[in-house]
Structure 1
Amino acid sequence: MEIGISMFGDLAYNDAIKTFYPAGQRIQEILEEIKLADEVGLDVFGIGEHHRPDFAVSSPEIMLAAAATITKNIKLTSSVTVLSSTDPVRTYQNFSTVDLISNGRAEITVGRGSFTESFPLFGYDLHDYNGLFAEKLDLLLAINKNERITWKGRFRPPLTDQQVLPRASNNRLDVWVAVGGTPQSILRAARLGLPLIIAIIGGIPIQFKSLFELYKQEYINAGHDPAQMKLATHSHGLIGENGQELSDRYFPYYAAQMNRIGKDRGWAPYTKDQFEGGRSKDGALFIGDVNQVVDKILYHQELFGLTRFLLHVDVGAPSHKDLMKTIELLGTKVAPAVKKALA
């Protein structure tokens, strides 16, 4: 089982001057965090794409290219690339370049996007939300399989015997599909035989078990080899020496970010009871000490049959110190304990 971290590059808000901290500062911190994740033996690092003032990163592949030069072993993936509002040809070229820089460590994780700012920014109509993703995934997979491509769709000009270069190290990239729990998206990933990652960031995780079972059954029905099946989850978390002390200190940052997003989406204010419920065994948050996080990862692995777990660590912009501590503990304490238990 692979264990790693993901980030969005959340920016802390400075109440004194009513603005977010500089993106440049956060980007430099992320690079330090990626380097440490590699040094402590974590398997995967993922970075997301956003186009809002409260996030530092809009181009995952540029961050991953920088990370490739300061790491040796860790896999580098987007988390996610909003494929619906980008060009699959350019996406493949960018990630194949990261793959060459990193000597074969790049992956792509594609999704439809839970934030929609990229659609008007790049000239796409939200009414085409589903159609854009399906068509662009089809093109990306065709490019990943073939150096020369002839293809026609609705949303971009056709390609006629075009050569797409450079090619990835082994002439292909692993392409994961990230979903929030939509059965249609899960069925598509299963039928295509693509690795699946489900974001479990709220509610009761056991409710997602049926979705994993749906994927497994459809994957096998489509004729794919069960031994090649890859399943992952992505959940919010933070790790400290003292779980309750960390929780009490982190809650205001976490709640502030949930409320910023919730204001746009009509959510009720986020409460401490919700937070503590999420930290319980049956909740979705991995916020606590080493033992709490180990136990919860093992519980989720048993529930879903995971081959990968990503701890999403920077919601609400916890301090760089807390993030470095989380990465250190995840790599040196949590991951070895989980892998020993599974062995």
Structure 2
Amino acid sequence: MITATQIRDLEFGVNSFGDVATDGGRPQSDEEALLLLVDEAQLAESVGLDSFSVGEHYREGMVDSATPVILAGIAQATSTVRLGTSVTVLSTQDPVRLYQQFATVDGLSRGRTQLVLGRASAIESFSLFGYDIEEYEQIFEEKLDLFLRLMREDRVTWSGRYRPPLDDVRLHPRMPEGGIPTWIGVGGSPDSVVRAARHGLPLMMAVIAGRPERFAGHAELYLRALARFERQELPIGQHSIGFIADSDEEAKNTYWKYWRPVVAALNEERGFYPPTAERYETEVSTGALYVGSPETVSQKIASIVRANHLSRFDLKYDVRHLPREARAHSIRLFGERVVPRVRELLHENPGDWRLTGRTPAEIVKGGRAVHA
């Protein structure tokens, strides 16, 4: 059963994709949207949230293309909240430059920086930076290998296909020994789950549609893989989308207005599900949208913490043109009312949270074999 210490150590954060808000009905300028992120990070810190993360996108209506620059600015306006990425598209980054950028942010934030590395579901950066989407998998694996070596080794000699070789290189500024906390983000691929375990990295599951409980199998695959590779047990996190208001009705009605056009665009561009009222209701009631009053969202989060063996839950609070006042109120309710209530619910009903009491080696017994 879950212990009081484990409930206390459960982490909660908020994520932004740099979606442009409205202010008095007027869409903000890019400058205003960037400054709003600083304000919202300060708010997240003030209500006791553990982390504030920013994504990486290259499209109109989002201002998060230069994530480390944003985080460096936020670092100067905050003092305790951890600063990270909801996703860094490693495939189209230079691992050397990425190391230097986040070593810099980590120094400016006095050791508060973390990363989620992913292959990208939005692929605009591939054509923008001249990468072949057909080599999606190979590029990520090679760059991940180099980035981890740069973090974990003092000097690196390396060669590969996608950047010039390195000969006994020592980068500056330096990250702390072993690097900064780095997670692998997955959107449903079992291969990505196993990759995280093989490299000894925590797992961040992006659950944005359908029943979130279906990712329980990914969590258990990850734990079996950790045992297969003789790794210690590592944290499992979940990134999900949501909006909190004073009542269920207010939350659902407000979010529907801004969610529908965004999903309609995704449906046209990427074949995402159509944003019908029926689908919206399903996603809110039993699916991946954490939309509702503080009590409703708390109950749903507590349930998924148990089901998916979570150590961390991150809520993406912004959606394009959602009013800035509504965004701020959602963050405040999340920190002040939802997080304490989730801990209370877990105390009342611990369940089989994180498979407590079972080591990865014990979990693998009776499970399928896991292969590299």
Normalization by structure 2: what TM-score?
0.87
Match of 1:324 in 2: 328
- Select the residue among 247, 254, 257 that pairs with 2:252: 247
- Deviation of the 1:315 alpha carbon: 2.2
Are the equivalent residues in 1 in contact too, given 2:22–2:322 (CA < 8 A)? no
Which AA in structure 1 matches 2:230? G
Are the equivalent residues in 1 in contact too, given 2:184–2:196 (CA < 8 A)? yes
- Deviation of the 1:13 alpha carbon: 8.6
Fraction of identical pairs, as percent: 38
Higher alpha-carbon deviation: 165-174 or 154-163: 165-174
Match of 2:94 in 1: 87
1:100 aligns with 2:107: yes
1:9 aligns with 2:18: yes
CA distance change for structure 1 residues 54 and 294 in 2, over 3 Å: closer, same or farther? same
Q: C-alpha distance in 2, partners of 1:286/1:250?
A: 11
Q: For 1:92-111, what per-residue CA distance to the aligned partner results, in whole angstroms no more than 9, with x for missing partners? A: 11111111111100011110
Q: C-alpha distance in 2, partners of 1:331/1:204?
A: 24
- Deviation of the 1:318 alpha carbon: 1.3
Are the equivalent residues in 1 in contact too, given 2:22–2:324 (CA < 8 A)? no
1:279 aligns with 2:284: yes
Match of 1:162 in 2: 169
- Select the residue among 319, 333, 337 that pairs with 2:337: 333
- Select the residue among 68, 71, 87 that pairs with 1:64: 71
Q: C-alpha distance in 2, partners of 1:301/1:337?
A: 13
Q: C-alpha distance in 1, partners of 2:102/2:290?
A: 30
Match of 1:112 in 2: 119
Which AA in structure 2 matches 1:292? T
Q: For 1:141-174, what per-residue CA distance to the aligned partner results, in whole angstroms no more than 9, with x for missing partners? A: 0000113110111111110001111112455211
Match of 1:237 in 2: 242
Higher alpha-carbon deviation: 126-135 or 171-180: 171-180
Are the equivalent residues in 2 in contact too, given 1:104–1:170 (CA < 8 A)? no
Are the equivalent residues in 2 in contact too, given 1:147–1:165 (CA < 8 A)? no
Q: For 1:176-211, what per-residue CA distance to the aligned partner results, in whole angstroms no more than 9, with x for missing partners? A: 110101011111001111011111110111211111
Match of 2:271 in 1: 266
Higher relative contact order (CA 8 A, sep 6+): 2
1:300 aligns with 2:309: no
- Deviation of the 1:21 alpha carbon: 4.4
| Secondary structure, aligned partner of 1:31 | helix
Q: How many residues align?
A: 337
Q: C-alpha distance in 2, partners of 1:133/1:152?
A: 15
- Select the residue among 173, 188, 200 that pairs with 2:195: 188
Match of 1:46 in 2: 53
Q: For 1:46-102, what per-residue CA distance to the aligned partner results, in whole angstroms no more than 9, with x for missing partners? A: 100011112111011111111111111111111111000010011011111111111
Which AA in structure 1 matches 2:18? G
Which AA in structure 1 matches 2:51? V
- Deviation of the 1:12 alpha carbon: 5.3
Are the equivalent residues in 2 in contact too, given 1:103–1:169 (CA < 8 A)? no
Which AA in structure 2 matches 1:35? Q
Q: What is the Cα-based RMSD across aligned positions, in Å?
A: 1.7
Q: C-alpha distance in 1, partners of 2:304/2:271?
A: 30
Match of 1:76 in 2: 83
Q: C-alpha distance in 2, partners of 1:287/1:243?
A: 7
Q: C-alpha distance in 1, partners of 2:28/2:144?
A: 35
- Deviation of the 1:316 alpha carbon: 2.9
Which AA in structure 1 matches 2:322? P
- Deviation of the 1:306 alpha carbon: 0.4
Match of 2:366 in 1: none
| Secondary structure, aligned partner of 2:83 | strand
Higher alpha-carbon deviation: 264-273 or 90-99: 264-273
Which AA in structure 2 matches 1:120? S
Which AA in structure 2 matches 1:320? R
